[in-house]
């Protein structure tokens, strides 16, 4: 009998059930898409944010040492210590090596150009390196993707250079010219535009800067672009204070601090730290986007619950005579409410399944249009989505069902309920 009542309810109130089902489907569709995007958005946004450049910097350990006695800095005046270029491939031997998008060593040298003191910066542009059996390419084109070159990028094994656009205007040089640097002539292969200090500098292969400085294999600092997760209170813990599982968890999480720590392990006598403004902005952007998606999800589910509530209230009003008859025949509040909750659960499960697949298509479309890649839907999300659908249906139906169980059978059968 109970099954027949449920079946007849769906057969005789198709329009009401369809409207409630559509409301649940739309809410679940949006929720599915937002949950799928939120769980997959971290890496994608991180990759998009890598277009703003490096987020970690490695410098010689000696540069971080302050020697003061009585408030007087006794650190000798110098250009600082240097890192060894031969150690750079070891970056690909660290635990989070696959999170390293690219790195670019830098070696600034003061030079004379056209009678003026200028800085020449040596770096990698697209250097082919090898660590063990792995071959990889790294350099400024990966670590500083916003750099724009009018002309061509120099080969890392060449003697060609790039001129910063403001420096090129100042000395009247163009692509294809030769420029004298400390008495030697170098071909200008392109004009560099970065919007930063490089626009007033000469950028050359690292070997050229080492040759001018007279220090083969020297590197002053390394800019590293790495995929990281936003820092939290645990990320800011001092690794020296962690023991056992806590240390393993910290070390094996892609926090900026843990990747910097591993960079220090990979490169001898180095000090690595995050570029605070970049790393903090990434975490802020990611948190705000996820917060916005949460608000959209809650708004969609609230709208669905309100629509279900309206549909169920109308359906129960139309069935007040049926409810009165059930109660007159001895049905208590539990069987009456159970009937409507079962109807709501069935409606939620059917609509939830449809909404899940519609949300998967929506998430895939969002991934293609915004990130240019497909967003994957984890099957474990299905029971979560169905639970959300049932919760929305119950929340929307609760008030109407409460009114149904309180109907007086006498007034209901007379049509006065």
pTM: 0.62
263 contacts: CB under 8 Å, gap ≥ 6: 56, 58, 91, 94, 224, 270, 272
pLDDT value for 136: 93
| Rounded alpha-carbon distances, angstroms, from residue 188 to 126, 133, 191 | 18, 35, 8
| Nearest C-alpha neighbor of 311 from the set 113, 15, 7, 71 | 15
3-class DSSP assignment, residue 1: coil
pLDDT at 173 over 60: yes
- Lowest average pLDDT, out of 32-36, 68-72, 215-219, 304-308, goes to 68-72
More confident residue, 339 or 263: 263
Backbone φ and ψ for 304, nearest 5 degrees, come out as -65, -45
> Quick one: what percent of the chain has pLDDT higher than 70?
76
Q: Tally the residues of the chain.
A: 417
Per residue in 263-293, is it b (16+ CB within 10 Å) or e — as a string?
bbebbeebbbbbbeebbeebbeebeeebeeb
**pLDDT mean over 44-48:** 58
> In this predicted model, what pLDDT tens digit does every residue of 381-414 receive, in sequence order?
888 888 988 888 888 878 777 776 666 555 555 5
The long-range contacts involving 3-9, CB below 8 angstroms and separated by at least 24 positions, are 5/339, 6/339, 6/342, 6/343, 6/346, 9/319, 9/339, 9/343
For the ranges 41-45, 70-74, 113-117, 207-211, the maximum mean pLDDT occurs at 207-211
pLDDT value for 302: 87
Domain boundaries, given as residue ranges, for the chain: 2-48+283-413, 56-274
More confident residue, 406 or 33: 33
| Rounded alpha-carbon distances, angstroms, from residue 69 to 74, 75, 78, 216 | 7, 10, 19, 35
**pLDDT mean over 97-106:** 91
pLDDT value for 74: 39
For 72, counting Cβ atoms within 10 Å of its Cβ (0-12 exposed, 13-18 middle, 19+ buried), the class is: exposed
**pLDDT mean over 133-145:** 90
Going 343 to 344 to 345 to 349, the CA torsion angle's sign is positive
Task: Name the token pair of 235.
Answer: 């990320």
| Nearest C-alpha neighbor of 159 from the set 202, 100, 223 | 202
Give the confidence band of 415 by pLDDT, cuts at 50, 70, 90: low
pLDDT value for 182: 82
pLDDT at 280 over 70: no
| Rounded alpha-carbon distances, angstroms, from residue 270 to 80, 86, 218, 265, 298 | 12, 13, 13, 8, 47
pLDDT value for 70: 43
More confident residue, 417 or 205: 205
pLDDT value for 229: 78
Pairing of strands 148-151, 161-164: unpaired
**pLDDT mean over 211-225:** 92
């Amino acid at each position: 009998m109970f099954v027949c009542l449920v079946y007849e309810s769906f057969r005789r109130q198709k329009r009401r059930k369809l409207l409630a089902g559509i409301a649940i489907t739309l809410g679940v569709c949006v929720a599915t898409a937002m949950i799928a995007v939120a769980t997959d958005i971290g890496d994608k946004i991180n990759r998009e944010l890598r277009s703003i450049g490096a987020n970690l910097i490695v410098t010689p350990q000696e540069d971080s040492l302050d020697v003061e006695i009585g408030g007087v800095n006794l650190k000798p005046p110098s250009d600082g210590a240097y890192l060894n270029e031969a150690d750079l491939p070891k970056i690909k031997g660290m635990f989070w090596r696959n999170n390293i998008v690219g790195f670019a060593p830098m070696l600034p040298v003061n030079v004379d150009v056209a009678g003026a003191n200028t800085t020449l910066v040596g770096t990698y542009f697209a250097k082919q390196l090898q660590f063990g059996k792995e071959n990889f390419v790294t350099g400024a084109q990966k670590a500083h993707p916003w750099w724009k070159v009018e002309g061509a990028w120099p080969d890392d094994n060449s003697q060609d250079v790039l001129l910063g656009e403001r420096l090129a205007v100042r000395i009247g040089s163009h692509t294809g010219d030769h420029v004298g640097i400390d008495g030697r002539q170098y071909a200008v292969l392109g004009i560099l535009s970065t919007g930063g200090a490089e626009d007033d500098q000469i950028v050359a292969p690292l070997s050229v800067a080492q040759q001018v400085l007279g220090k083969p294999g020297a590197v002053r600092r390394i800019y590293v672009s790495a995929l990281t997760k936003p820092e939290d209170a645990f990320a800011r813990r001092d690794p020296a204070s962690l023991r056992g599982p806590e240390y393993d968890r910290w070390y094996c999480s892609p926090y900026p601090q843990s990747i910097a720590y591993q960079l220090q392990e990979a490169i001898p006598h180095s000090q690595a730290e995050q570029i605070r403004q970049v790393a903090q902005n990434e975490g802020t952007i990611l948190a705000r986007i996820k917060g916005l998606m949460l608000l959209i999800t809650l708004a969609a589910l609230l709208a669905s619950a309100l629509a279900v509530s309206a549909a169920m209230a109308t359906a129960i009003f139309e069935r007040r005579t049926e409810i009165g008859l059930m109660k007159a025949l001895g049905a208590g509040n539990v069987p009456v409410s159970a009937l409507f909750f079962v109807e709501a659960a069935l409606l939620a499960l059917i609509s939830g399944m449809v909404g899940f697949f519609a949300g998967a298509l929506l998430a895939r479309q969002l991934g293609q249009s915004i990130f240019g890649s497909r967003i994957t839907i984890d099957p474990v999300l299905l029971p979560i989505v169905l639970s959300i659908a049932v919760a929305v249906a119950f929340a929307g139906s609760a008030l109407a069902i409460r009114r149904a169980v309180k109907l007086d059978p006498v007034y209901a059968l007379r049509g006065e309920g």
